[in-house]
C-alpha cells in the first residue's frame, strides 16, 4: 500500500510539475508582454474571482464532501448505486453552477466593487475589470464540472487525466497572449478569452476517460437523493475548512487594491511561485490521500488511518522545509530569473520578491492544510475545519490591516499582506493537527522525533549554503542568459547538499515507508 500511495503521489506530482513549469512559462510570457500595470491588475482581479470560487466550491468544499461520500457509496453499495449517485450529483451540480454563473455575470460590477474596492476611484480600470470578469466568469461552470469529473476518476484510482488537465489552461493563456492579444484593440481582453476557452477544453478532456470506465451517465437533477443531500450537508461547513487559505489570499487582493498600483500583480507573481511546491507536492499528496483515507474510514481501519496521516506528514516535513528555505533565500534570484523581462522592471522584481519571502514563511502551513483537512473530510467531519477556518480568517484580516500599515513606510505594505496569510495558515494547520492528536485520530508513529531532528540538521546545512550564495552573487548584474545557469546550479547544489545531509544524519528510505496494517 505504501508503494502504491507513493507511486500515485509521484504520478500526480510529476504531471503537476509539467503544469507548473508551463505555468511559469505562461507567467513569464504575460509579465514580458503586459508587465505589472493597471491592465494586469484588472485581469488578475477578474480571473481571481471565478478562480477563487472554483477553489472554494469545487476543489475545496465540493471535493472534500463528494469524494468521501462517493467512496463510501461504492464500498458499501456497489458500482451501480455509485453510477446513479454520479448522475444525480452531476445534474444537480450543473444546474446550480448555471444559475451561479448567470448571476455572477450580471453582478460583475458589484463583485469588482466588493473584491477590489480600490478600483472604484479608477473608472477606466474598474470598467476594464468588469468587462474581463464577464468574459472569465463562465470558466467557473466548466472548471467545477471538471473538478467533479476529476473526483470521480480519482475515486477509481485514475489520477493521470485529472493531474494533466491544468496544462490546458496554461497552453490556452500562452496562445492567447502570443497570438490573440496583438489582434485585440484592448490586448488584455485576449487573456480573458484564453481563460474561457481553457475551461471548455479542460472539461472536454476528462469526458473520454469517464466514458471508458462506464461512468459518463446522463445527468439527472436529484436534490432529494440521500447521497446528494449528504454532500450538500457537508459542503456548507467545508467551504471554510477546505478553502481558508484562498479566503485569506482574496482578502489580500481586496486590501492590495487600495495600495500602490502593481501591488496586486506583485502578490500574484509571488503567489505563483509558492504555488509551485504547493501544487506539485501538496495537491498531489492531498489528492491521493483523500480517497485512501476515505476507504480506511469505510473499513473502520483506525490504525491504518493514523499511519497514513503520519506517512503524509513525514513527506511534508522532508520536502516542505527545504522548499521553505528555498523560497525565502532565493526570492530575488527567482524573480530576476523568471520574470524580469521587457515590461517587468527591476523595481517590480524587488517588490515581488518581498512578498515571496513573506509567503514562503507560511509554506508549511499551506502544505499541512492540504493533508490535514482530508483527514477530517474522510470522517465526514467538516465542521471542525470550518470552525478553525473562521478563526484564521479573522486572524488574517486583523494581521493584514496591522502589518500593511506597519510596513507601508518601508515599501513592504503588500508583503505585510502576504505575511498575514502565512501566519494565518500556520495557525490553521496547528489547530487542525492538535485536534487530530487530542481526539486520538492521529497517533505519531515511533521514530518521528529523531526523523524531524535529522531533517532539521540537513536543512541547516542547505540553508548555510543558500545564505552564502546570496552574499556572493549580485543577481541584478548577471545577464539574463546567465541567471538561469546560476540559479539552476545553485538549486542543484542545494539539493545535493540537502540529500547528503539527510544521509549523514542517518535518514534512510525505511523511515518514509507506510507501515502495513491488516
In 3-state terms, what secondary structure has residue 85?
helix
- Residues near 1 by beta carbon (within 8 Å), at least 6 away in sequence: 304, 514, 516
**Res 325: pLDDT:** 95
Alpha-carbon distance 225 to 15, whole Å? Answer: 35
Q: How far is CA 192 from CA 7, 71, 78, 359, in A?
A: 36, 36, 43, 27
**Res 72: pLDDT:** 87
Alpha-carbon distance 462 to 456, whole Å? Answer: 10
- Residues near 100 by beta carbon (within 8 Å), at least 6 away in sequence: 53, 140, 141
The angle that helices 363-377 and 284-298 make with each other, rounded to 10 degrees, is 20
**Res 484: pLDDT:** 83
Instruction: Give the pLDDT mean for 48-54.
Output: 81
Tell me: the pLDDT tens digits for 57-69? 666 667 778 888 8
Tell me: the pLDDT tens digits for 454-507? 999 999 999 998 888 777 777 777 777 778 888 888 899 999 999 999 999 988
DSSP string across 14-57:
HHHHHHHHHHHHHHHHHHHHH-SSHHHHHHHHHHHHHHHHIIII
**Res 3: pLDDT:** 65
Spatial contact of 342 and 382, defined as CB atoms under 8 Å apart: no
Alpha-carbon distance 97 to 100, whole Å? Answer: 5
Alpha-carbon distance 177 to 188, whole Å? Answer: 8
Instruction: Give the pLDDT mean for 172-179.
Output: 94
Asked if residue 516 has pLDDT above 60, the reply is no
In terms of Cα–Cα distance, which of 250, 274, 276 is closest to 264? 250
Where is pLDDT greater, at 151 or 7?
151
**Res 419: pLDDT:** 94
Domain boundaries, the chain: 2-512
CB burial of residue 94 (10 Å; 0-12, 13-18, 19+): middle
Tell me: the pLDDT tens digits for 386-433? 889 888 888 988 999 899 889 888 888 999 999 999 999 999 999 999
**Residue 100: Cβ within 10 Å count:** 17
Tell me: the pLDDT tens digits for 181-215? 988 888 999 999 999 999 999 999 999 999 999 99
Pick from 19-28, 107-116, 169-178, 459-468: least confident:
19-28
| Percent of the chain with pLDDT strictly greater than 90 | 40
- Residues near 271 by beta carbon (within 8 Å), at least 6 away in sequence: 249, 355, 359, 418
- Residues near 235 by beta carbon (within 8 Å), at least 6 away in sequence: 57, 61, 62, 65, 382
In 3-state terms, what secondary structure has residue 138?
coil
Where is pLDDT greater, at 279 or 375?
375
Tell me: the pLDDT tens digits for 107-160? 999 999 888 888 888 888 899 999 999 999 999 999 989 989 998 998 898 888
Cα angle 449-453-454, degrees, rounded to a multiple of 5? 115
Asked if residue 26 has pLDDT above 60, the reply is yes
Tell me: the pLDDT tens digits for 288-300? 787 778 888 877 8
Instruction: Give the pLDDT mean for 21-46.
Output: 85
Asked if residue 8 has pLDDT above 60, the reply is yes
**Res 455: pLDDT:** 95
The angle that helices 480-504 and 448-472 make with each other, rounded to 10 degrees, is 150
- Residues near 92 by beta carbon (within 8 Å), at least 6 away in sequence: 221, 222, 223, 228
Tell me: the pLDDT tens digits for 324-340? 999 999 998 898 888 87
In 3-state terms, what secondary structure has residue 447?
coil
**Res 518: pLDDT:** 34
Given the C-alpha cell 443531500, which residue does it identify?
229
Tell me: the pLDDT tens digits for 207-264? 999 999 999 888 899 888 899 988 888 887 766 655 666 667 677 777 888 888 888 8
Q: Which three cell numbers stand for residue 103?
A: 448571476
Amino acid at each position: 500500500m505504501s508503494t502504491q500511495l507513493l507511486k500515485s503521489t509521484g504520478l500526480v506530482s510529476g504531471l503537476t510539475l509539467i503544469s507548473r513549469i508551463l505555468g511559469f512559462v505562461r507567467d513569464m510570457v504575460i509579465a514580458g508582454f503586459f508587465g505589472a500595470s493597471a491592465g494586469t491588475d484588472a485581469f488578475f482581479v477578474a480571473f481571481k474571482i471565478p478562480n477563487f470560487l472554483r477553489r472554494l466550491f469545487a476543489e475545496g468544499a465540493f471535493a472534500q464532501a463528494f469524494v468521501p461520500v462517493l467512496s463510501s457509496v461504492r464500498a458499501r453499495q456497489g458500482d451501480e448505486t455509485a453510477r446513479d449517485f454520479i448522475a444525480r450529483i452531476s445534474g444537480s451540480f450543473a444546474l446550480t453552477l448555471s444559475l451561479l454563473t448567470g448571476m455572477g455575470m450580471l453582478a460583475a460590477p458589484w463583485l469588482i466593487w466588493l473584491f477590489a474596492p480600490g478600483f472604484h476611484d479608477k473608472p477606466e480600470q474598474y470598467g476594464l475589470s468588469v468587462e474581463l470578469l464577464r468574459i472569465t466568469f463562465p470558466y467557473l461552470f466548466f472548471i467545477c464540472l471538471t473538478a467533479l469529473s476529476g473526483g470521480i476518476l480519482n475515486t477509481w484510482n485514475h489520477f493521470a487525466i485529472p493531474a494533466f488537465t491544468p496544462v490546458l489552461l496554461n497552453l490556452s493563456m500562452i496562445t492567447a497572449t502570443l497570438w490573440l492579444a496583438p489582434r485585440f484593440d484592448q490586448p488584455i481582453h485576449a487573456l480573458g478569452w484564453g481563460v474561457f476557452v481553457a475551461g471548455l477544453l479542460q472539461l472536454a478532456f476528462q469526458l473520454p476517460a469517464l466514458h471508458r470506465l462506464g461512468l459518463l451517465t446522463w445527468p439527472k437533477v436529484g436534490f432529494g437523493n440521500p447521497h446528494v443531500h449528504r454532500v450538500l450537508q457537508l459542503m456548507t461547513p467545508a467551504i471554510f475548512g477546505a478553502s481558508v487559505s484562498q479566503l485569506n489570499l482574496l482578502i489580500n487582493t481586496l486590501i492590495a487594491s487600495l495600495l500602490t498600483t502593481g501591488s496586486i500583480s506583485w502578490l500574484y507573481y509571488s503567489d505563483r511561485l509558492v504555488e509551485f511546491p504547493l501544487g506539485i507536492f501538496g495537491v498531489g499528496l492531498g489528492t491521493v490521500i483523500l480517497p485512501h483515507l476515505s476507504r480506511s474510514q469505510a473499513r473502520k481501519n483506525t490504525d491504518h488511518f493514523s499511519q497514513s496521516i503520519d506517512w503524509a506528514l513525514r513527506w511534508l516535513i522532508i520536502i516542505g522545509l527545504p522548499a521553505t528555505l528555498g523560497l525565502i533565500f532565493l526570492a530575488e534570484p527567482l524573480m530576476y530569473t523568471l520574470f524580469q523581462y521587457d515590461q517587468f522592471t527591476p523595481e517590480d522584481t524587488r517588490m515581488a520578491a518581498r512578498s515571496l519571502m513573506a509567503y514562503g514563511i507560511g509554506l508549511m502551513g499551506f502544505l499541512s492544510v492540504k493533508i490535514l483537512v482530508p483527514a477530517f473530510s474522510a470522517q465526514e467531519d467538516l465542521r471542525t475545519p470550518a470552525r478553525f477556518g473562521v478563526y484564521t480568517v479573522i486572524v488574517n484580516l486583523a494581521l493584514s490591516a496591522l502589518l500593511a500599515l506597519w510596513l507601508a513606510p518601508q515599501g513592504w505594505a503588500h508583503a505585510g499582506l502576504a505575511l498575514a496569510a502565512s501566519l494565518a495558515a500556520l495557525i490553521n494547520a496547528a489547530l487542525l493537527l492538535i485536534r487530530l492528536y487530542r481526539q486520538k485520530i492521529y497517533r505519531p508513529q515511533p521514530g518521528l522525533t529523531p526523523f524531524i531532528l535529522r531533517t532539521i540538521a540537513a536543512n541547516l546545512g542547505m540553508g548555510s549554503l543558500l545564505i552564502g550564495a546570496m552574499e556572493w552573487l549580485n543577481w541584478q548584474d548577471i545577464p539574463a542568459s546567465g541567471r538561469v545557469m546560476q540559479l539552476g546550479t545553485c538549486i542543484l547544489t542545494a539539493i545535493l547538499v540537502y540529500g547528503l545531509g539527510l544521509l549523514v544524519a542517518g535518514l534512510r528510505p525505511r523511515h518514509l515507508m507506510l507501515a502495513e496494517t491488516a
